[in-house]
């Protein structure tokens, strides 16, 4: 008697036995929880206090100030984030230190994220003379 394609044994599976994937689905669990999973999920949810959230993000390995702020801007969609030490921002404010750029950007509070994106995407943007 010949086997049709559907009757051929599946690698890693004995006849009539559940495969590993089927067993996980049957018992209601897919993959075991990964270490730090709760911390990762918490980081994906925008906190009520963005500044506290930024400090919390920077406790994670490999996350510095720029990355935390960029994550708040894109991931949390925070409306009042500005990156005064960003490479392109420093180019748009020639001769100004990041501290001076941050002072200049205060005029756009509480919507500095929109100003940041505008400056990034406008090639000929220059700060107004004070």
User: Which structural domain range is residue 127 located in?
Assistant: 79-130
86 and 120 share one domain: yes
Known catalytic membership, residue 80? no
Please indicate, yes or no, if residue 21 is contained in any of the structural domains.
no
And the tokens for 20?
Answer: 């590993």
From 31, 49, 85, 86, the catalytic residue: 86
Please indicate, yes or no, if residue 122 is contained in any of the structural domains.
yes
Q: Whole-structure pTM over 0.75, yes or no? A: no
Q: Residues 51, 68: contact at Cβ < 8 Å?
A: no
Tell me, what CATH number does 114's domain have?
Answer: 1.10.1670.10
Helical ranges in the chain per DSSP H:
20-26, 37-44, 50-57, 65-74, 87-92, 98-105, 112-121
Q: Would you give per-residue pLDDT tens digits along the chain (130 residues)?
A: 555 555 555 455 545 544 444 444 445 556 655 666 776 666 678 889 999 999 999 999 999 999 999 999 999 999 999 999 999 999 999 999 999 999 999 999 999 999 999 999 999 999 998 7
């Amino acid at each position: 008697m010949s086997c049709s394609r559907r009757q051929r044994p599946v690698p890693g599976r004995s006849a009539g036995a559940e495969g590993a994937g089927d067993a996980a689905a049957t018992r209601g669990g897919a993959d075991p929880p990964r270490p730090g999973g709760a911390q990762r999920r918490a980081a994906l949810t925008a906190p009520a206090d963005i500044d506290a959230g930024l400090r919390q993000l920077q406790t994670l390995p490999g996350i510095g100030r720029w990355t935390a702020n960029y994550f708040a801007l894109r991931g949390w969609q925070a409306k009042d984030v500005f990156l005064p030490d960003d490479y392109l921002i420093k180019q748009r404010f020639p001769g100004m230190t990041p501290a001076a750029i941050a002072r200049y950007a205060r005029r756009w509070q509480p919507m500095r994220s929109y100003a940041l994106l505008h400056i990034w995407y406008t090639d000929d943007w220059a700060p107004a003379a004070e």
